[in-house]
């Protein structure tokens, strides 16, 4: 363990992850010079120490700096071995003295102060803070020069450590403790506030925290880790011990990634829009087409180094399993980091983010409205690469945009964002492919430009709770509701029994759209592969309708089908053109290969049955949690089906928890 003197500069190695550290404050060293010193961190539930004495010293140092003394007010011992296993360390003003029978009793100095910490021996070797009360019922101040009995030995120890005749300087040394390893890697615990060191520091590459922000984030992490050992977080410190980056993911996010890791979007909206909090979110899509959070972070600076750290922290949290597709904003440092950390993922830029920048980048140009129409036509309406290339070249030539640097960069990166180049990539519906589609950030409505770190931590749980309640409601509606059929098509009847409610509604639009398709005809035959042309009347700019032709390939032996619009890869279900060709050939049901398991009502239950753990460490607590969590989900879903099921499930869970408590009591 590292030992750190509290009146010295921080001593860390780059990338170290520690459990606790203190804020920097100024103090006078007795010579008139102002130095930087670290204020001992406040006691927090979950902190651990190697011995009872270390726990006592930690609270004693904290009390000295705050202006109060401490004492051991209660101790619990095991009767047979007379071994202390629990203790209560209280403010010296706790309780009241017994009434004295003396003629001149000393005046009462205690106030019944409630401030205290309770520590408990865990695993027969570490002492953990299990209860904390920081508020006093009397005045405490480090400026009040009063010495308490508990502080006396600290001063004596400092004197014996100092060679005479130098003046006595009080030395406070504590250790930086790590919690038990509950993960593949350790979770880092550390917190710092923004501060100026003795030398000038480039704060632009560190998190700029306001007063109270660091404590709010740190305390939230400690509380969550104590409540759920599968809560994961890492903090990145630079050479000077200053906080640079933070990453965290709760247990539900980690479990959700096991189900929905195929396509992940990295939302950096707060970075690009210069929000007060440099929030970065990892977002996926669940079986209802809803956004699901897969991890969060605070990025100190938009550099390749920081993005690499964030991606590695995220992958480490997710047991090293990378996504198949990664969607990001058009950010060069992030692109480089992705290629380094997740080289095998299909990295794409989000079309919606790019199109949102059009007014800013092109709005001042002459003929802007015509340019925008031509750009949208090139991007959204091109079914073949040659069509896009021709349309783009016409736009550049017609409006004399050859020197526009932004358009030059877009064209250079076209294979990463233009839909016609991404037809072989599965996106789970996470990118818009039509002009009228949009995206909503996961924390939309909870974060604004001036939201502070402290405010965000307060809103974080609320946002996740509401999102998860929507998923629970959607699960119940999908399992118990009967869906309204709008046609007599067999495809609709088949998949209303399979898809979740929201996905079925989206697929239903394609079934209804079959009736806007006409003149389906065969144009060529190449062995078992038949090529069809399907015409469709589509609205243009919300008013006029034009006829478009879609090429559909149909393989007769395996009943394989592919449409040039590639809706199946973009959204995960067949398009109206493919359905039209299947219907034309007398196929009455959608082939099973085109019914993705991730959209099924029973997806999570089926996932458990079909995914083994041959490459996973079955003795890892993370595996235990994830496996139990997935097994418990079907129990919760069945228990919510009726009042009788609910009562039975609740009773069984309460009995199980009671058994756990009995086991814990026997170990104490």
Q: Residues 489, 507: contact at Cβ < 8 Å? A: no
Residues 314 and 372 in one domain: no
Q: What share of the chain is helix, strand, coil (3-state, %, to 5)?
A: 40, 20, 40
Average of per-residue pLDDT across 615-634: 66
Residues 218 and 322 in one domain: yes
Q: What is the pLDDT of residue 40?
A: 65
User: Which is more confident, 25 or 159?
Assistant: 159
Residues 295 and 239 in one domain: yes
Average of per-residue pLDDT across 200-205: 45
Q: Residue 198 above 50 pLDDT?
A: no
Digit-coded pLDDT (tens) for 583-604: 999 999 999 999 999 999 988 7
Q: Residue 25 above 60 pLDDT?
A: no
Residues 136 and 76 in one domain: yes
Residues 220 and 341 in one domain: yes
Average of per-residue pLDDT across 56-81: 85
Which of 596, 623, 646 is the endpoint of a domain? 596
Which of these ranges, 395-404, 483-492, 603-612, has the smallest mean pLDDT? 603-612
Average of per-residue pLDDT across 4-30: 31
Residue 82 included in any domain: yes
Residues 656 and 523 in one domain: no
Average of per-residue pLDDT across 5-23: 30
Q: What is the pLDDT of residue 103?
A: 60
Residues 230 and 316 in one domain: yes
Residue 100 included in any domain: no
Q: What is the pLDDT of residue 439?
A: 83
Q: What is the pLDDT of residue 599?
A: 96
Residue 120 included in any domain: yes
Beta strands in 418-506 (DSSP E): none
Residue 476 included in any domain: no
Residue 178 included in any domain: no
Global confidence as pTM: 0.67
* Opening angle at CA 330, ends 395 and 340, nearest 5: 135
Q: Residues 142, 65: contact at Cβ < 8 Å? A: yes
Residue 372 included in any domain: yes
Q: What is the DSSP secondary structure assignment for residue 34, as one 8-state letter?
A: E
Residues 293 and 250 in one domain: yes
What distance in Å separates the CA atoms of residue 257 and residue 252, rounded to the nearest whole number?
9
Q: Residues 352, 438: contact at Cβ < 8 Å? A: yes
Over the chain, what is the mean pLDDT? 80
- Count the domains in the chain: 5
- Residue 416 structural domain: 351-438
Which of these ranges, 153-157, 473-477, 642-646, has the smallest mean pLDDT? 153-157
Residues 345 and 356 in one domain: no
Which of 544, 566, 596 is the endpoint of a domain? 596
Average of per-residue pLDDT across 343-368: 94
Give the confidence band of 472 by pLDDT, cuts at 50, 70, 90. confident
Q: What is the pLDDT of residue 212?
A: 78
Residue 334 included in any domain: yes
Q: Residue 277 above 80 pLDDT?
A: yes
Residue 406 included in any domain: yes
Residues 516 and 574 in one domain: yes
Residues 393 and 322 in one domain: no
Kindly state the percentage of the chain with pLDDT values over 70: 78
Residues 415 and 459 in one domain: no
């Amino acid at each position: 363990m590292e030992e750190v003197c509290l009146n010295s500069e921080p001593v860390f190695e780059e990338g170290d992850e520690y459990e606790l550290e203190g804020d920097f404050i100024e103090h006078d060293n007795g010579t008139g010079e102002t130095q930087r010193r670290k204020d001992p961190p406040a006691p927090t539930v979950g902190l651990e120490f190697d011995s009872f004495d270390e726990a006592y010293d930690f609270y004693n140092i904290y009390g000295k700096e705050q202006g109060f003394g401490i004492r051991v007010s209660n101790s619990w011992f095991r009767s047979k071995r007379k071994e202390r296993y629990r203790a209560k360390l209280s403010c010296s003003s706790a309780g009241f003295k017994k009434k004295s029978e003396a003629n001149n009793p000393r005046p009462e100095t205690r106030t019944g102060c409630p401030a205290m910490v309770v520590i408990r021996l865990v695993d027969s070797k570490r002492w953990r803070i299990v209860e904390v009360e920081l508020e006093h019922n009397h005045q405490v101040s480090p400026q009040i020069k009063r010495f308490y009995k508990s502080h006396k030995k600290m001063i004596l120890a400092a004197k014996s450590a100092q060679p005479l005749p130098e003046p006595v300087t009080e030395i406070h040394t504590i250790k930086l403790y790590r919690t038990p390893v509950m993960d593949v890697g350790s979770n880092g615990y550390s917190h710092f506030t923004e501060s100026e060191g003795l030398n000038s520091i480039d704060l632009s590459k560190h998190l700029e925290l306001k007063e109270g922000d660091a404590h709010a984030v740190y305390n939230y992490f400690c509380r969550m880790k104590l409540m759920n050992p599968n809560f994961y977080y890492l903090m990145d410190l630079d050479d000077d011990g200053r906080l640079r980056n933070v990453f965290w993911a709760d247990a539900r996010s980690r479990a959700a990634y096991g189900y929905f890791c195929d396509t992940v979007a990295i939302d950096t909206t707060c970075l690009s829009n210069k929000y007060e909090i440099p929030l970065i979110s990892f977002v996926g899509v669940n079986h209802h087409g809803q956004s699901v959070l897969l991890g969060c972070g605070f990025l100190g600076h938009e550099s390749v180094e920081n993005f690499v750290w964030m991606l590695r922290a995220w992958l480490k949290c997710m047991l090293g399993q990378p996504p198949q597709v990664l969607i990001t904003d058009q950010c060069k440092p992030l692109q480089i980091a992705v290629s380094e950390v997740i080289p095998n993922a299909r990295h794409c830029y989000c079309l919606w983010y790019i199109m949102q920048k059009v007014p800013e980048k092109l709005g001042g140009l002459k003929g802007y409205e015509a340019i925008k129409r031509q750009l949208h036509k090139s991007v959204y309406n091109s079914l073949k690469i040659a069509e896009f290339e021709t349309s783009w070249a016409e736009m550049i030539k017609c409006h004399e945009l050859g020197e526009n640097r932004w358009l030059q960069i877009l064209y250079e990166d076209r294979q990463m964002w233009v839909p016609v180049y991404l037809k072989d990539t599965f996106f789970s519906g996470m990118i818009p492919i039509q002009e009228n589609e949009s995206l909503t950030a996961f924390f939309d409505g909870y974060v604004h430009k001036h939201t502070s770190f402290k405010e965000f931590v307060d809103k974080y749980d609320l946002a996740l709770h509401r999102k998860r309640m929507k998923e629970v409601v959607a699960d119940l509606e999908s399992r118990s509701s009967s869906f309204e059929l709008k046609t007599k098509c067999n495809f609709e009847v088949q998949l209303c029994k399979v898809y979740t409610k929201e996905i079925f509604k989206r697929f239903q639009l394609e079934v209804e759209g079959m009736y806007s398709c006409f003149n389906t005809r065969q144009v060529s035959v190449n062995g078992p592969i038949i090529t069809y042309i399907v015409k469709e009347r589509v609205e243009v700019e919300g008013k006029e309708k034009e006829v478009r032709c879609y090429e559909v390939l149909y393989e007769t032996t395996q009943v394989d089908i592919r449409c040039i619009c590639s809706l199946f890869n973009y959204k995960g279900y067949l398009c109206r053109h493919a359905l039209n060709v299947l219907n034309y050939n007398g196929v009455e049901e959608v082939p099973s290969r085109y019914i993705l398991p991730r959209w099924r009502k029973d997806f999570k239950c089926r996932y458990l049955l079909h995914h083994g753990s041959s490459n996973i460490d079955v003795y890892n607590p993370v595996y235990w949690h994830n496996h139990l969590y997935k097994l418990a989900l079907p129990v919760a879903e069945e228990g919510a089906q009726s009042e009788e099921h609910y009562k039975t499930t609740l009773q069984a869970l309460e009995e199980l928890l009671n058994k756990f408590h009995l086991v814990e009591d026997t170990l104490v």
